[in-house]
Amino acid sequence: MEEYILTTKDLMKKYQNKVVVDNLNIQIKKGEVFGLLGPNGAGKSTTMNMICSITRPTAGTISLFGKDPWKQKKEVIHKLGYIPQELAIHGSLKAWENVELFTSLYGIKGEALNTAVEESLEYVGLLGRKQEFAKNFSGGMKRRLNIACAIGHKPDLLIFDEPTVGIDPQSRNFILEQIKTSNRNGATVIYTSHYMEEVEAICTRIAIMDNGKIIACGTSEELKRLVTEDGESITLEEVFLTLTGKKLRDYID
């Protein structure tokens, strides 16, 4: 039997009578790098926030490691590493203090905490800069520190919400490589983005989301074959255009 880490059933979120996540049904297996691809306002962050028990669903269900994340938050939270779209770091703390603060929230103490902080900073390539204040970091370094803060407790599922927006190519490649390494080491990953090349490069399966709905889901070859006989000769961008009638690039900041 296949082991699903996450199953959503008719998951829905409404804000002021506007449906922003519309009957979402997704299943993610252990070991996948699952991509959620969609333009601004598609509902990606709202979906991730519901999975991470930050936002309460209006209707539908989520099973995360066999639990309801909203009702059984304490039983799932330590298995999750959530890297939010908005930076969650403190500028007035040093890099290592930021990682220590977030990691300690999971009850990790003493020598184990010191080790976790060092390993997390090493993971994002900032160990040599650990004594510097976060406010003095470049955009790419802040993004990397944001990641370090979310992984110290060694989560089984890593959720990245657009971790590469507005950063230098070097930091971007570094982050993508580290995500692949984490996956090889056993972590399941959900990767939210509107960059098709990134999603295609690292994801085993991709869900295309638009207007709150998943409009197609599969490997990049499967998605391409949805709109052409010879799946190889088109790009995911063209798949998106054919399925939605929209050019993805026109709908991103």
Ligand X SMILES: Nc1ncnc2c1ncn2[C@@H]1O[C@H](COP(=O)(O)OP(=O)(O)OP(=O)(O)O)[C@@H](O)[C@H]1O
Which residues lie near ligand X (CB under 6 A)? 15, 20, 38, 40-46, 85, 194
Q: CB of residue 92 vs ligand X: minimum separation in angstroms?
A: 27
Q: CB of residue 134 vs ligand X: minimum separation in angstroms?
A: 22
Amino acid at 102: F
* Helix residue ranges per DSSP H, the chain: 44-51, 73-76, 95-104, 110-123, 139-151, 169-184, 196-202, 220-227, 236-244
**Residue closer to ligand X, measured from CB, 227 or 252:** 252
Q: Which does 176 bind (CB under 5 to 8 A by kind): ligand X, Mg ion, none?
A: none
CA 112/CA 108 separation, integer angstroms:
7
Q: CB of residue 119 vs Mg ion: minimum separation in angstroms?
A: 28
Q: CB of residue 35 vs ligand X: minimum separation in angstroms?
A: 13
Helices (H) and strands (E) in the chain, counts: 9, 10
**Residue closer to ligand X, measured from CB, 38 or 57:** 38
> Which candidate, 52, 69, 60, places its Cα nearest to that of 22?
60
What's the CA dihedral at 5, 147, 75, 184 to 10 degrees? 40
Which residues sit at the interface with Mg ion, rule CB under 5 A?
A: 44-45, 85
Q: Which does 153 bind (CB under 5 to 8 A by kind): ligand X, Mg ion, none?
A: none
> Which candidate, 103, 95, 162, places its Cα nearest to that of 122?
95
Q: Which does 38 bind (CB under 5 to 8 A by kind): ligand X, Mg ion, none?
A: ligand X
Counting Cα atoms < 13 Å in the Cβ hemisphere of 165 gives 17
Q: What Rg do the C-alpha atoms of the chain give, in angstroms?
A: 18
**Residue closer to ligand X, measured from CB, 130 or 194:** 194
**Residue closer to ligand X, measured from CB, 45 or 53:** 45
Q: Which does 108 bind (CB under 5 to 8 A by kind): ligand X, Mg ion, none?
A: none
**Residue closer to Mg ion, measured from CB, 13 or 44:** 44
Q: CB of residue 16 vs ligand X: minimum separation in angstroms?
A: 6
Q: Which does 125 bind (CB under 5 to 8 A by kind): ligand X, Mg ion, none?
A: none
